[in-house]
Chains A and B, each alone.
Chain A
Amino acid sequence: MIFAKELNAALHECLETDERVVLIGEDIVDPYGGAFKVTRGLSTDFPERVRTTPISEGAIAGVSAGLALAGMRPIAEVMFGDFITLCYDQIVNHITKYEAMYNGKATCPVIFRVPSGGHRGYGPTHSQSLEKHFLGVPHLRVLAASLYHDPRAVLRDLLGQTTPALFVEHKLLYPQNFGRPGGLLATDDGTTVCLSAVPREDCTATVLAYGYQAMLAAQVVEQLAIEEEIFVELLVPLELSPLDYGPIERSVAVTKSLVTVEEGTAGWSWGTEIAAVLSARMFGRLRRPVGVVASVPTVIPSSKSKESRMLVGTPQIDVAIREAAK
């Protein structure tokens, strides 16, 4: 089943099993069912708890905050992740503050679903991966959907705890078939999925990627193994921040080399933070500096050819992995 339908089924399960769950967002009701059809059918089954809103992202976030403070479990859809800037005050100064500043007397477990990412020609304001601006916000979890993490389990986990969360969903994952790549060995280290063509001991680099970029990286890893006999291990974490460094350290302890991949723009990013932390923790055990792959720090062009030069895709990942595997 394609990822969008998996996610739709996961949301349906949430609404069905937990009466506290409320879906809120723009254009999410039937017959339209959301800009990416992820919520299709849900408002028909749960009309009171699936609520379409005006174009008011700040209020979507703020109303969700109130619902959560009052004991409900809002799941807010930010139609295009680019618009989450309009939720920033609520996330930074309200939602993630309450539990800590009230000394645990309240919780505000809002879940934001954030359809993000480019490679679709939507241009500068409908293509971005803005999650780096939320990484490290205290008391916020940032997670990334992938084809290898069951969204039912993700949502069950989020509904079973009270820390607010962003669930970043790359738009190009929606039409993909859900499941792990057939050509690679897969193991789980916590919620990090480890993929490689050969056992870890025979890998010469660790590649860390999430979301759609993890899917692209898996293609490159498989291809390099088959065509070039370059063997690396791909780690796909579910949670970007806070990050569980355990799986990364365990892999890099063997491969001695790390490269990170993200679609967001380069600089002050997920990868640079990981490079700093890993360099400090594993100094002396790394064979080479940590490689960081990210997109060119500029606007995302609408032109297909210009967009593909600007955004990370398989060519950039391929070059970086070859380098890291040396």
Chain B
Amino acid sequence: MIAAVHTDEPRDLRLYRRMRFIRRFEETLLDLFDEGVLNGTTHACIGQEADAVGVIEHLREGDHIFSNHRCHGHYLARTGDALGLMAEIMGKEAGVCAGIGGSQHICAPGFMSNGVQGGIVPTAAGIALAMKLRGADTISVVFIGDGTLGEGAVYETLNIAALWQVPLLIVLENNEWAQSTPVSLNTAGSMAARFEAFGIPVTETTTTDVLEIDRLAQKEVELVRSLNSPRALIVNTYRLCHHSKSDDHRPEAEVAIRWQIEPLVIQRARLSEADWRRVDSEVDEQIAEVVATARALP
């Protein structure tokens, strides 16, 4: 696991390494698509790596993550299984789901993802209910996006999760765009108020700084665990790449400005150039090895 590797490394550097790994993994995927090696589609979380790393940093064995179509960062942060994911997306038998699930439908211990919006939320609540019924000290985490707030299943679940007080952490990554539709055309009123209406406490932040997300997520995870009740963490962030592949019609200037404050830029500023360059090159080597190994698989 990436999380387990380099645990002796200073925290700032380790968090940077984990985000950099996700970034390079997905950039490599996009290259492989251009090369014609990959089939189907993929949804990169480039620009949102801090959410995955900052939250998942605080989960334990036994905790469960439910993710969505944009799941690579969450999966890598949770499992570190880059080869299994790469082989899966390449459609190889050695892939984590033997090439059946592909990019959006992944399963590993403590991790699942599904590509239909909304429906994963009650499912994550059901997992939380199972934990509660068993008296376990574990929590269920579900990652959703701003677009998912359009789905009714979300609100049915918020109601039940609050009524039954299940240990569910909803992480809402608001990246401002639901495919091609901006939040302004998608979401009326307040995102936070949607949770608060059900009595679910909300913490909201507008940041791409992994340390800030890490700090808030630590508190949220602890509270869900100790109070055995649902909470929501809203991270207002930004998706730097297209929704899936070559389908980006956002204003170039809007995107360009966000590249100035993306998670790696922020975290790099805390490190010596020698350190981050070394990590970059180590990550590149690792990814190259993953790709070479995956390509050679039957």
Specify which of B107, B126, B140 is in contact with A65 (CB 8 Å cutoff). B126
Closest Cβ–Cβ distance, residue A45 to chain B (whole Å): 16
In the complex, the chain B residue whose C-beta lies closest to that of A53 is B160
Known: A49-B133, A51-B164, A102-B101. A62 touches B159 (CB 8 A): no
Known: A66-B128, A102-B101, A102-B107. A59 touches B153 (CB 8 A): yes
Specify which of A70, A102, A103 is in contact with B126 (CB 8 Å cutoff). A70
Q: For the complex, is A295 an interface residue (Cβ under 8 Å from B)?
A: no
Residues of A within 8 A of B (CB): 22, 48-49, 51, 53-54, 56, 58-59, 61-72, 74, 89-90, 93-94, 97-98, 100-103, 105-106
Hey, which chain A residues are within 8 Å of B64, CB to CB? 70
Stretch of B42-50, B117-125, B187-195, B222-230 at the chain-chain interface? B117-125
In chain B, positions 51-66 with a C-beta closer than 8 Å to chain A are 64
Q: Are B123 and A94 in contact (CB under 8 A)?
A: yes
Sampled A-B contacts (14; CB under 8 Å): A56-B159, A56-B160, A58-B153, A59-B125, A59-B157, A62-B121, A66-B127, A69-B126, A70-B130, A89-B119, A103-B101, A105-B97, A105-B107, A106-B112
Hey, which chain A residues are within 8 Å of B140, CB to CB? 66
In the complex, the chain A residue whose C-beta lies closest to that of B124 is A66
Closest Cβ–Cβ distance, residue A179 to chain B (whole Å): 36
In the complex, the chain B residue whose C-beta lies closest to that of A51 is B164
- Per-residue CB contact flags for chain B residues 8-20 toward chain A (1 = under 8 Å, else 0) read 0000000000000
Q: Are B105 and A89 in contact (CB under 8 A)?
A: no
Q: Are A22 and B123 in contact (CB under 8 A)?
A: no
Closest Cβ–Cβ distance, residue A310 to chain B (whole Å): 32
Hey, which chain B residues are within 8 Å of A22, CB to CB? 129, 133
Q: Are A70 and B127 in contact (CB under 8 A)?
A: yes
Q: For the complex, is B297 an interface residue (Cβ under 8 Å from A)?
A: no
Closest Cβ–Cβ distance, residue A21 to chain B (whole Å): 11
Q: A62-B157, A105-B108 are in contact. List 11 more A-B contacts (CB 8 A).
A: A56-B160, A62-B119, A63-B126, A68-B126, A69-B123, A69-B127, A70-B126, A72-B130, A90-B122, A93-B119, A98-B114
Hey, which chain A residues are within 8 Å of B108, CB to CB? 105
- Distance of A51 Cα from B159 Cα, bound (Å): 14
Q: B108, B122, B157 — which one has the most chain A CB atoms within 10 A of its CB?
A: B122
8 closest A-B pairs by CB: A66-B126, A62-B122, A70-B130, A59-B156, A102-B107, A56-B156, A63-B126, A66-B127
Q: Are A58 and B112 in contact (CB under 8 A)?
A: no
Q: For the complex, is B98 an interface residue (Cβ under 8 Å from A)?
A: yes
Q: For the complex, is B163 an interface residue (Cβ under 8 Å from A)?
A: yes
Closest Cβ–Cβ distance, residue A55 to chain B (whole Å): 9
Known: A62-B122, A67-B126. A102 touches B112 (CB 8 A): yes
- Distance of A90 Cα from B152 Cα, bound (Å): 13
- Per-residue CB contact flags for chain B residues 146-172 toward chain A (1 = under 8 Å, else 0) read 000000110011011001100000000
- Distance of A101 Cα from B163 Cα, bound (Å): 32
In chain B, positions 11-50 with a C-beta closer than 8 Å to chain A are none
- Distance of A93 Cα from B114 Cα, bound (Å): 9
In the complex, the chain A residue whose C-beta lies closest to that of B152 is A58
- Distance of A248 Cα from B163 Cα, bound (Å): 49
Q: Are A66 and B130 in contact (CB under 8 A)?
A: yes
- Distance of A235 Cα from B98 Cα, bound (Å): 41
Closest Cβ–Cβ distance, residue A37 to chain B (whole Å): 24
- Distance of A282 Cα from B198 Cα, bound (Å): 59
In the complex, the chain A residue whose C-beta lies closest to that of B159 is A54
Specify which of B118, B122, B131, B163 is in contact with A70 (CB 8 Å cutoff). B131
Known: A51-B164, A102-B101, A102-B105. A58 touches B156 (CB 8 A): yes
Q: For the complex, is B292 an interface residue (Cβ under 8 Å from A)?
A: no
Closest Cβ–Cβ distance, residue A83 to chain B (whole Å): 13
In the complex, the chain A residue whose C-beta lies closest to that of B97 is A103
- Distance of A72 Cα from B152 Cα, bound (Å): 25
- Distance of A64 Cα from B160 Cα, bound (Å): 12
Q: Are B160 and A54 in contact (CB under 8 A)?
A: yes
Q: Are B129 and A63 in contact (CB under 8 A)?
A: yes
Hey, which chain A residues are within 8 Å of B101, CB to CB? 101-103
Closest Cβ–Cβ distance, residue B122 to chain A (whole Å): 2
Specify which of B100, B120, B122, B127 is in contact with A100 (CB 8 Å cutoff). B100
Hey, which chain A residues are within 8 Å of B152, CB to CB? 58
Q: Are B116 and A93 in contact (CB under 8 A)?
A: yes
Closest Cβ–Cβ distance, residue B197 to chain A (whole Å): 14
Specify which of A64, A94, A103 is in contact with B116 (CB 8 Å cutoff). A94
In chain B, positions 169-204 with a C-beta closer than 8 Å to chain A are none
